[in-house]
Amino acid sequence: MTRPHRRGAAGFCAAILLAFGLSGCGVNDVPRQDEQVKAAWSEVLNQYQRRTDLIPNLVATVKGYATQERTVLTEVTQARARATQMTIPSDILSNPQAFHEFEQNQARVGNALGRLLAVSERYPDLKSNENFLALQSQLEGTENRIAVARRDYIDAVQIYNTTLRTIPSRWVAAILYPDAKVKQTFTISEQAQQAPKVQF
């Protein structure tokens, strides 16, 4: 092998070793963790949508038995409308104001649903209605799924934000991923995060 070929082969080997070294030192952590945060956020949105989809049937069922509870029914309907009409910006995960607005809208839905389910206690016929029982069960399951999805999102954000804030990954992110921003996480109170408690 001639000298120029040896230099080329040595340069190629050095480039391969550098690539392996960089991949082992976490150079891909930021984009990988960013994708994990996005996937976890998608699941949060999916579960909130599932809850939103249950509301019209639940309201209609309760309305059939408890028409005098118009205020509570209106609160649930308005909270759902506000949550579904919010335009979610593409930068919501790094936009504190938009993220907080999303949180507040979802908390209103949860609170209104809690009041609606509490109203059902006053109507024995409603509490024994099969459709209501099925919807109540689906809602409880959905609230549990929301809690799990939120926990997974919070965990993914913690890992991602730690990567962006600690050395040496902070330097790698600054050089290779200058657009990477710290993601927002949930700050709703413990009470607002709890699934509505329904006891029949």
Instruction: Name all contacts of 78-83 with Cβ < 8 Å and 24+ positions apart.
Output: 78/112, 79/105, 79/108, 79/109, 79/111, 79/112, 79/113, 80/52, 80/55, 80/56, 80/109, 80/112, 82/108, 83/48, 83/52, 83/108, 83/109
Structure tokens at 44: 């949060």
User: What's the rounded mean pLDDT across residues 80-108?
Assistant: 95
Domains and CATH numbers, the chain: 29-193 (1.20.1440.20)
User: What's the rounded mean pLDDT across residues 190-197?
Assistant: 55
Calculate the CA 108 to chain-centre distance.
16
Q: Please, which pLDDT band fits residue 127 given cuts at 50, 70 and 90?
A: confident
Q: Which of 88-92, 127-131, 187-191 has the highest mean pLDDT?
A: 88-92
| Model confidence pLDDT, tens digit, residues 27-73 | 899 999 999 999 999 999 999 999 999 999 999 999 888 888 889 99
Q: Would you say 135 and 61 are in contact if contact means Cβ atoms under 8 Å apart?
A: yes
